[in-house]
Amino acid sequence: MSINQPANPGVDGRLGPDEPVKYKGPGPATGLDSPLRKAVYKLRRDRWGMLGLAIVIVYALIALGVVLGLWGQDWSSTAGPRWAGISAEHWLGTNLIGQDIFNRALYSTRTAFEIGLVVAILSTLLGALLGALSGFYAGTWIDEIILWKKGVLDAIPFYLFVAAVAFALEGNAWAMHIAMIATFWTITARLVRGEVIKLKNLEFVEAATAIGASRMVTLFRHILPNTLHILLVQGTIVFVSAIKSEVILSFLGLGVQEGTSWGLMISESTQEVLSGQFMNFIVASTMMFILVMAFNLFSDSLQDALDPKKVH
Amino acid sequence: MNRPLLEVDNLVIEFETDRGTIRAVDGISFCVGASETLGLVGESGCGKSVTALALLGLIPSPPGRVAAGSIRLDGRELTGLSEARMRKVRGKDIAMIFQEPMSALNPVFTIASQMTRVIRRHQGLSRRQARAAAVEMLALTGIAAPLRLIDDYPHQLSGGMRQRVMIAMAMSCEPKLLIADEPTTALDVTTQAQVLEQILALQSSFNTAVILITHDLGVVAETCSRALVMYCGRLAEEGTVESLFAHPRHPYTAGLLESIPALQASRNRHLPTIAGAVPDLAELPPGCLFADRCPSARSLCREEHPRLITSGRDGRVACHFPVQSREAYRAALVQWES
Amino acid sequence: METLQYTLRKLITGLPLLFGVTLISFALMVYFGPDLTYELVGKNPTQEQIERVQSELGYDQNFLVRYLDYVREIVTLDFGQSFSTGEPVADLLARTVPVSLALTLPGFILGNLLGILLAQIAAWNRSGWLDKLIMGGAVVGMSISFLVVIIAAQVIFSSSYGLNWFPVRGWSVYSLADYLYHVAVPTLALVFVSLGYNTRFYRAVFVEEMSRDHIRTARAYGTPPIPLMLRDVLKNSLIPIITRIMFSIPMIIVSGSLLIESYFGIPGVGKATFDAITTGDQPVLKAVVSLTAVLFVLVLIINDILYKWVDPRVSLK
Ligand SMILES: Nc1ncnc2c1ncn2[C@@H]1O[C@H](COP(=O)(O)OP(=O)(O)O)[C@@H](O)[C@H]1O
Ligand code: SF4
Ligand SMILES: [Mg+2]
């Protein structure tokens, strides 16, 4: 679920109650033994998923090239003519202040990965931690407090929350990231909590406790690794949500503050399309669409591979 | 017995799984005569339910399909019938009772609503007539005050009551064939007997043929005239109940009989166990599938699949070295175990 | 009676939620929100004027005192007047909420109905080409940004580069014809952007439901596809459907659709709230955030009551 869904604003902008994904996770498997290998095998046979992954890797390489200074460095120069067409100098033309669209699109790939990775990793970790504690101490005050925090975040409209965080942080470049992390963890936590409650009653966990493993060791060494399949899938879903949310937030002036992004390019294009200038719009939205689509395909097949009982 | 009511010929049912295509039912053939009671016995997972569902054209697809075979009811071929035609058969010509009375009825509709829908669909009655028919049918299944529970939801009834409702629904259109898939397995012992009696009573008053799928050889002995023993999706043995119990020919049947010491006395309604495990349907060995558990197995058994041969007057058995007598089997068993 | 008791009990358990929402909104939007002193003091203020305004705003008080004040104003429904325009907050809501509702409801309803319809078709044809087509379309739909959809819809339907049928932006609605004229493109965009998510969600619900034993029973007694899907499957799936729809309602009613309103310049409550955040218009924020939270709690309750209504096994204990 992403912010791009105001028709269901109950989940507006957050990973709200989406598909009733049921992770009927693996048994007492720890680490990288056969269930995971089986999943990898299954994943590799999934043509659409592999296509998605290949595209994601190409994008990641583009982003890496920008970080390493190989390309996409001239994104801010306004030296070109305004709204130039396609030429050898400006492969995809220029925007309304003469910036090179091709370079901006490349640079934006880096921005997208930065936002996606930061938000996906941190919010998934936060969700895993809080969900695990909540599930492990289910029914105690620890659980209650975490559930309460989740409920409160669910009851505040997403973009109002982001706007509030942005203003509270007075234009901090990370305000958007922080706001997304602070809201996107809730669904991961819900899934992890359910799984942990199931896992902690299983034999191998009781056995670990019986041989004297401390509760924290049990939780982090024996239980949490078994929620890996949830975290991987959630990570990909949050990545997509983050880069989709960026577009809307950038349009509202709450998004990317430094550099450029597809969201900023599309926002710029709102002033161009009514004058018949479509290049900025087409390039940014196509670049973004392909990446999001590829990620969605990969995410779906990852879910299929990791969750043997998922309904198709 | 003239022409049998149901003729199943070389039925093959396959499922697409992660581990390749498996044959849940591999070429079984059998007949059911009009108003006959046929028992279908076998360990869990041997393909009994899947066979029953195939008769109704209800193999879940995907992942399953009827890969080959013919199913004829009153001489009419059912495989390959259009969905619309098949729907007219379901509940009308062939009705089915399921194992789980808890979940087989729809939790959000009343008994009346579920029963009248079936009755109206197949008999074209008005709402009121259908309701009256439902009440009557419920009374016939031994429910004392049908009017009191007909407007209840399934969760308000006990397991036995729910199963009676299922029976009433099954018999409401007077089907030619009733399939009862372990109708009593989920019930407690006293209820089991009552429900079974109820099915048999209705069978004789409606002249219905019954396929009784069960775990319980005791039930077969008490109720059936003929029985099929299935193993791993194949027919192991078929025969009249008397001959099966007195002279089992297949070592599997003999084994099943051996492991229930006192059939009559025991009300332990579980399929007796035989040492060893069922082979994995995804990786079937060549030869006889029972070879790893069979006291009579010889080298031929592991090389060549035994074909179904006639045995006795109207029995069939799939075994290279059929059991000569129960005593001989016991001797072989003792030797094999040591 | 049972329902009433239940409602009261549930309202009390909703209190911590209201506490949390007011606390977070106070901390973020008021305590750490924009400093309003210089907007309210007028030109060339004296030190005294500044101090007077600051004490009116409570800036000289500590966190707790100010928070309690904030809660007191909410509890007494004393939302006051907008700082920026002086308009009473109640009037502002009465003016903007209906606009947002009129703007988003058609898209919301259509998006859900179409989603359910497509999901039923897909679930019935599970793994068939129709299912693959619908679900492939859903993934494509889910991969397109809302902003892109809006821009494309505007160019295609409202600009001289496309069909030019509808207004480029704005909301001057005085009749039904005006309404349809202005609501068409936003509705189209809303349906498009929600359809993929809805279809996927509902299909997963239906497929799960279709694997149940009682659906097998229904089929074994010859239930035709349409009654099977529309009666047996749908009625048993109502709980997740209702939940999804109910939880969308507070956001629609109170916060509208910020993006649509901003983009098309429509004076709905979403835009008004957003402006309130950027200008630090506390009275408006207080009202919107607390009303959303209250509605949220109410939705939780109504949702449970609806559960009981659709599923006889549910009891309100
Ligand atoms: N939906 C399904 N998907 C895959 N395999 C199935 C499915 N249903 C049944 N099977 C296969 O068919 C075999 C027979 O199942 P079933 O007929 O239910 O056994 P039983 O004799 O206990 O009624 C099972 O062992 C299983 O391998
Ligand atoms: S064929 Fe051989 S292994 Fe199979 S049942 Fe007969 S004797 Fe046993
Ligand atoms: Mg069975």
Q: Cα–Cα distance between B4 and B38 in angstroms, integer?
A: 12
Do residues B206 and B60 both lie within one domain?
yes
Phi/psi of residue A170, each to 5°?
A: 50, 60
Do residues B102 and B16 both lie within one domain?
yes
Q: Which of C192, C122, C208 is nearest to C157 (CA)?
A: C192
Would you say the pTM of this structure is higher than 0.95? no
Residue ranges of domains in chain A? 41-77+88-306
Nearest ligand 1 atom to alpha carbon B53: 17
Q: Is the CB of B254 under 6 A from ligand 2?
A: no
Prior bond to B286 cis, omega within 30?
Answer: no
Phi/psi of residue B178, each to 5°?
A: -115, 125
* Domain count for chain B: 2
- List own/partner pairs for C176-182 with CB under 8 A and 24 or more apart: C179/C102, C182/C266
Do residues B77 and B184 both lie within one domain?
yes
The stretch B121-146 carries a mean pLDDT of 92
- If one compares A3 and C309, the residue with the highest pLDDT of the two is C309
Tell me the ligand closest to B234's alpha carbon.
1
pLDDT of res. B269? 46
Asked if residues C134 and C196 have their Cβ atoms less than 8 Å apart, the reply is no
- If one compares B287 and C3, the residue with the highest pLDDT of the two is B287
Q: Is the CB of B73 under 6 A from ligand 2?
A: no
Do residues B257 and B219 both lie within one domain?
no
Question: What is the edge-to-edge ordering of all strands in the sheet holding B315-318?
Answer: B94-97, B177-181, B209-214, B37-41, B226-231, B234-240, B315-318, B308-311
Question: How long, in residues, is chain A?
Answer: 312
Does the pLDDT value for residue C237 go beyond 70?
yes
pLDDT band at C226 (very low <50, low <70, confident <90, very high): very high
B152 touching chain C per CB within 8 A: no
CA B5 to chain centre: 16
Do residues B140 and B253 both lie within one domain?
no
| pLDDT tens by residue, C257-300 | 888 998 998 999 988 988 887 887 878 887 888 888 888 888 88
Do residues B208 and B176 both lie within one domain?
yes
| pLDDT tens by residue, C129-139 | 999 999 999 99
| pLDDT tens by residue, A36-85 | 777 888 888 888 999 999 999 999 999 999 889 887 777 777 777 777 77
Question: What is the edge-to-edge ordering of all strands in the sheet holding B20-32?
Answer: B20-32, B6-17, B64-73, B76-77
Does the pLDDT value for residue A102 go beyond 90?
no
Nearest ligand 1 atom to alpha carbon B281: 27
CA B181 / ligand 3 centre spacing (Å)? 7
Nearest ligand 2 atom to alpha carbon B320: 1
Q: Is the domain covering A41-77+88-306 a CATH 1.10.3720.10 domain?
A: yes
* Least confident interval from A23-32, B78-87, B128-137, B243-252: A23-32
Q: Which of B16, B83, B87, B97 to mutate: most C Cβ within 10 Å?
A: B87
The stretch C220-233 carries a mean pLDDT of 94
Does the pLDDT value for residue C37 go beyond 80?
no
Tell me the ligand closest to B231's alpha carbon.
1
User: What is the rounded average pLDDT for all residues in chain B?
Assistant: 88
pLDDT of res. A29? 42
Percent of chain B predicted with pLDDT > 90: 55
Which residues form ligand 1's pocket by a CB distance below 6 Å?
A: B 15, 17, 22, 24, 42, 44-50, 60, 63-64, 281
B95 with C221: Cβ contact below 8 A: yes
| pLDDT tens by residue, C166-186 | 888 888 888 888 999 899 999
Q: For chain B, give me the number of helices (H) and strands (E)?
A: 12, 12
Last residue of a domain, one of B170, B191, B224: B224
Distance from CA of A213 to the nearest CA of C (A): 36
pLDDT band at A25 (very low <50, low <70, confident <90, very high): very low
Q: Cα–Cα distance between C67 and C186 in angstroms, integer?
A: 38
pLDDT of res. A266? 92
Do residues B23 and B146 both lie within one domain?
yes
Residues of the domain holding B260: 248-337
Asked if residues C190 and C104 have their Cβ atoms less than 8 Å apart, the reply is yes
pLDDT band at A278 (very low <50, low <70, confident <90, very high): confident
CATH number at residue B28: 3.40.50.300
Phi/psi of residue B66, each to 5°?
A: -85, 110
CA A259 / ligand 1 centre spacing (Å)? 58
B175 in a structural domain = yes
A257 touching chain C per CB within 8 A: no
Does the pLDDT value for residue A17 go beyond 50?
no
- If one compares A220 and A106, the residue with the highest pLDDT of the two is A106
Q: Cα–Cα distance between C168 and C153 in angstroms, integer?
A: 10
B308 in a structural domain = yes
pLDDT of res. A15? 34
**Could you write out the DSSP letters of every residue in A79-136?**
-SPTT--S-SSSTT-B-TT--BHHHHHHHHHHHHHHHHHHHHHHHHHHHHHHHHHHHH
pLDDT of res. A13? 32
| pLDDT tens by residue, A81-97 | 777 777 767 777 777 77
Radius of gyration (Cα) for chain B, nearest Å?
Answer: 21
Q: Which chains touch A (3 or more CB pairs under 8 A)?
A: C
How are beta strands B64-73 and B6-17 bridged, if at all? antiparallel
CA B307 / ligand 2 centre spacing (Å)? 11
Q: For atom 12 of ligand 1, which residue has the closest CA?
A: B24
**Could you write out the DSSP letters of every residue in B112-168?**
HHHHHHHHHHHH---HHHHHHHHHHHHHHTT-S-HHHHTTS-GGGS-HHHHHHHHHH
Alpha helices in chain A (DSSP H): 34-45, 47-67, 101-136, 141-155, 158-168, 175-200, 203-210, 215-217, 228-251, 262-269, 279-306
Q: Cα–Cα distance between B159 and B169 in angstroms, integer?
A: 15
B237 in a structural domain = no
B305 in a structural domain = yes
A267 touching chain C per CB within 8 A: yes
Q: Cα–Cα distance between B217 and B43 in angstroms, integer?
A: 11
ipTM for the predicted complex comes to 0.89
Do residues B124 and B217 both lie within one domain?
yes
pLDDT of res. A309? 62
User: What is the rounded average pLDDT for all residues in chain C?
Assistant: 87
Specify the residue for token string 């907050």.
Answer: C89
pLDDT of res. A9? 30
Does the pLDDT value for residue C199 go beyond 90?
yes
Highest mean pLDDT among A299-303, C48-52, C202-206: C202-206
Does the pLDDT value for residue A292 go beyond 80?
yes
pLDDT of res. B263? 46
The stretch B166-174 carries a mean pLDDT of 93
CA distances from B296 to A97, A217, B323 (A): 90, 54, 8
